[in-house]
Chains A and B, each alone.
Chain A
Amino acid sequence: MNKKKNNIEKELEKKDKIPQKKPKKINEFAYFALRNTKLKVGLSVVLFFLVVAIIGPFFTDYKWNAYIGPVSQPPSLEYWMGTTTFGQDVYTQFVEGLRASFIVGIIGGGIATLIGIIIGFTAGYRGGIVDEVLNIITNIVLVIPTFALLLIIAAYLKVRGILMESIFIGFTAWPWAARAIRAQTFSLRSREFVDLARISGMKSYKIIFTEIAPNMMSYLLMTFILQFGGAILIAATLDFIGLGPTNAVSLGLMMNYAVLWGALEFGIWWWFVPPGLAIMLIVGSLYIMNVGLDEVFNPKLREM
């Protein structure tokens, strides 16, 4: 198989007269990636919060729901981010919540992207009746307000965990990704190199994964990034309305408790500012990163 693929590649090179080889192309992307401020800034912010989420919980001796001492304390050396009206440590809740957000983003966004890829590739490559049916399903799920669906499912579950929440979010957030990937696949399907692979007797799934997918890698990466951010936002919204995990803490739940227990009236800003700020910075940086990536991959958008 490998030999065959090499032949096809050689054939392709002759045919399209592409002078560069693959490694050179990656260098080109790296060259622009290292010079792209948006990408660098966005990535550093996301990585910063990721590091805090990973090592943060090791710096606290408390449990997130333990009542550890004086209530409503502003940030101090002892309580880095202050305490809640119940005397819980905000720092502990914050780092645990940050972990939960990243888990939701990776699992929820990952599942949504994966379903989008499967449906998008199948619909776009197969075409015909398969495409038609998948298209209708996609459009139906697209019209249903995801949040309302999650609301009614979550409301009936007695015990809710972060993992379960992520899976549900993943299973409802895929439609736009499927639609976008389908459109891309559709336009790649009729290219010469795909025709060539088809004539040479390659199996469909092999054509999709060795010929079409590599040409869409940048696109798929960007889809995942957007789904990642979207999943974090949906989870926070769901948690805030009281349908968050029942056995853990999350950034959305922190804001929920803060509003319900009078943090605004008493001015306990260290309780409700950090969780929202973290979400905004993470998701905003993901968006900005995406613009940067777009500029790296798409020469037309590079600033002159």
Chain B
Amino acid sequence: MKRYFGRKTIIYLSTFFLAVTVDWAIPRLMPGDPIMNLLSRVSVRAEASEAMYGYYTKAFGLDIPVWKQYINFWIALFHGDLGTSVYLFPQKVVDVIIMAVPYSIALLVPAILLSFYTGNKFGAFAARTKILDNTLLPVGYLLTAAPYMWLGILLAWSLGIVVGIFPTAGAYDFNMAPSFSWPFIFSLIKHWFLPFLSLFLVQFGGWAIGMRNMIIYELESDYSHYLESLGAPRSLIRKYAYRNALLPQITGLALQLGVIVAGSLVTEVVFSYPGLGSLILSAIQNKDYFLIQGCFLFIIIGVLIANFFIDIAYVIIDPRTRLGMAGE
């Protein structure tokens, strides 16, 4: 287990190191003066622009050697300083992002956990059941192939605008002030439901299909046939097959995280949900590069943390990793 976590830690640390380096290097690799590049495309007030130029010259520290700039970048990072947002001037990038993160997490975590659980259960149930296999399988494939934002658009249009039961923009009613009252919580849930549903559906299709394919491999393997020949009940064989099929699914979850996060970002854009996705869209439209870079780092850190949790789950579920019998 030590070896397992040791390896993983090395990989995560190198990834983080690489990500920060990319974050530092990209603006400097682009042709031209990075500060002029940053500011020439922004329309801020003249006095703000001047203040910004002074600020960025200091922040970039272009007059000092490159290696020093790099070290300074790391020092600033550990002080939680990611610069100042251009389009939300003079707010700090970190503050802007921290305001948005809870909304993103509130969408992502329930959608991932619920779709993983129900999708796997359903996939196992559907495998080798002729009718389900032939009718619902294509549906599952189409769901998992649907672009996240398109399913979001369809839901927003059909349930939100045509039928009109769900709101399609924001995280709560615009005429409400955030408070701990029932109407406000109800409004939060109502606004949360559609983006959650569209995230859930796309992932559900993927897990159901993955599990269906995995469990068929398991049901064809020797131990299943052996159990069968011993006269074990069908439910017992299925139970063992399910447990074995779940392991690659968990690895799959770790591999899918990046795609899921990307999907949630665009889903937020569709529903104008005030999470990281909407923030990134405004940052791109306003050429707010410091904000984009900050979001980049936050997404990477988030995905690394999630990967770490999945590793722990894997160790709990698969005894071989605990005993050091399997490195990965």
Instruction: Please pick, from A144, A152, A267, the residue contacting B15 in the complex, using a CB distance under 8 A.
Output: A144
A275 to B146, CA, bound (A): 11
Chain B residue numbers with a CB within 8 Å of A152 are 22-23, 26, 292-293, 296
B153, B168, B258: the one contacting A144 at CB < 8 Å is B258
Complex CA gap A252/B300 in Å reads 24
Contact B220 A300 (CB under 8 A): yes
Give the residues in chain A near B126, CB-CB below 8 Å: none
Contacting pair B303 A255 (CB below 8 A): no
B146 A176 Cβ-Cβ under 8 A:
no
* B277 interfacial by beta-carbon distance below 8 Å: yes
Chain B residue contacts of A240, Cβ below 8 A: 147, 149, 266, 269
Residues from 149 to 166 in B contacting A, C-beta threshold 8 Å: 149-151, 153-154, 156-157, 160-162
Q: Taking the complex as formed, is A77 at the interface, i.e. its CB lies under 8 A from any CB of chain B?
A: no
Bound CA–CA A258/B156 (angstroms): 13
Cβ-based interface call for B237 (8 A): no
Contact across chains for B280 and A241 when beta carbons are under 8 A apart: yes
Cross-chain contact B11 with A139 (CB below 8 angstroms) = yes
B257 to chain A: closest residue by CB:
A145
B147 touches A140 (CB 8 A): no
Contacts of A75 in B (CB 8 A): none
Does A276 sit within 8 A of B, measured CB to CB? yes
Pick the contact of A265 from B22, B142, B161 — CB < 8 Å? B161
Q: Which residue of A lies closest to B258 (CB)?
A: A145
CA distance A147 to B300 in the complex (A): 10
Interface-located stretch among B59-67, B101-109, B281-289: B281-289
Surface stretch bound by B, among A8-16, A87-95, A112-120, A278-286: A278-286
* Least Cβ–Cβ distance between B71 and chain A, in angstroms: 21
Contact indicator A241/B266 (Cβ below 8 Å): yes
A142 to B255, CA, bound (A): 7
Is residue B19 within 8 Å, beta carbon to beta carbon, of the partner chain?
yes
The reply to whether the CB of B259 lies closer than 8 angstroms to some CB of chain A is yes
Write the nearest CB–CB distance from B160 to chain A, whole angstroms.
8
Q: Chain B residues near A258 (CB, 8 Å)?
A: 153
The answer to whether B147 touches A259, judged by C-beta atoms less than 8 angstroms apart, is: no
Of the candidates B23, B27, B153, B295, the one whose C-beta lies within 8 Å of that of A272 is B153
Mask: chain B, 128-161; 1 = CB below 8 Å from A; 0 = not: 0000000000100110111111110110110011
B153 with A291: CB separation less than 8 A: no
Tell me the complex Cα distance, A147–B11, Å: 19
Q: Which residue of A lies closest to B14 (CB)?
A: A140
User: Given known contacts A264-B157, A272-B153, is B263 in contact with A237 (CB within 8 Å)?
Assistant: yes
Interface residue B216 (Cβ < 8 Å from any Cβ of A): yes
Interface hub of A277, A287, A288 (most chain B Cβ within 10 A): A287
Residues of B with C-beta under 8 A to A237: 147-149, 262-263, 265-266
- The chain B residue with its CB closest to the CB of A172 is B258
Choose among A152, A272, A287, A291 the residue with the greatest number of B CB atoms under 10 Å from its CB.
Answer: A152
* Nearest B residue (CB) for A275: B150
B241: interface (CB < 8 Å): no
With a CB–CB cut-off of 8 A, which chain B residues contact A142?
A: 255
Interface string of A261-304 (1 = CB under 8 A from B): 00011010100110111011111101110010000000011000
Q: Across the interface, do A143 and B303 meet the contact criterion of CB distance under 8 Å?
A: yes
- Cβ–Cβ < 8 Å partners of B161 in chain A: 264-265, 267
B12 within 8 A of partner (CB) = yes
Which listed residue, B149, B213, B299, touches A148 by the CB 8 Å rule?
A: B299
Q: List 15 A-B contacts (CB under 8 A).
A: A145-B300, A146-B258, A148-B296, A148-B300, A152-B293, A152-B296, A155-B289, A156-B289, A157-B30, A258-B153, A259-B153, A259-B270, A264-B161, A287-B141, A301-B216
* 15 more A-B residue pairs beyond the given contacts A281-B142, A301-B220, with a C-beta to C-beta distance below 8 A: A139-B11, A140-B14, A146-B262, A148-B295, A152-B22, A153-B26, A237-B148, A237-B149, A237-B266, A240-B266, A241-B280, A259-B153, A273-B154, A284-B144, A291-B213
When A and B form their complex, which 7 residue pairs have the shortest distance between CB atoms, in order from nearest?
A276-B150, A145-B258, A147-B262, A284-B145, A283-B145, A284-B142, A148-B299
